[in-house]
Amino acid sequence: MATLAELKGSEVKLRESLSKERVPEFVEDVAWAYKFVKARRRLVERKIGMRKITW
């Protein structure tokens, strides 16, 4: 699973290579993916019964 730093690094690279019209759409995709990861992490925490999991 990619770390947040890796995501940010790839976001910067992609932002540089994409045209300006594509950037907002891509940022939305990243935001959605981040929300998905957070939701998934909450599910995992609930399953294991721990409050915090450090990734």
Half-sphere exposure of 10 (CA within 13 A, CB side): 8
Residue 24 lies inside a defined structural domain of this protein: yes
Residue 17 lies inside a defined structural domain of this protein: yes
Band the pLDDT of 30: cuts 50, 70, 90: confident
Count of domains forming the chain: 1
Q: What is the pTM of this model?
A: 0.35
CA distance 12 to 53: 27
Q: Which domain holds residue 13?
A: 4-48
Band the pLDDT of 15: cuts 50, 70, 90: low
Residue 54 lies inside a defined structural domain of this protein: no
Sign of CA dihedral 7, 1, 42, 52: negative
Band the pLDDT of 14: cuts 50, 70, 90: low
**Phi then psi dihedrals of residue 51, to 5 deg:** -80, -45
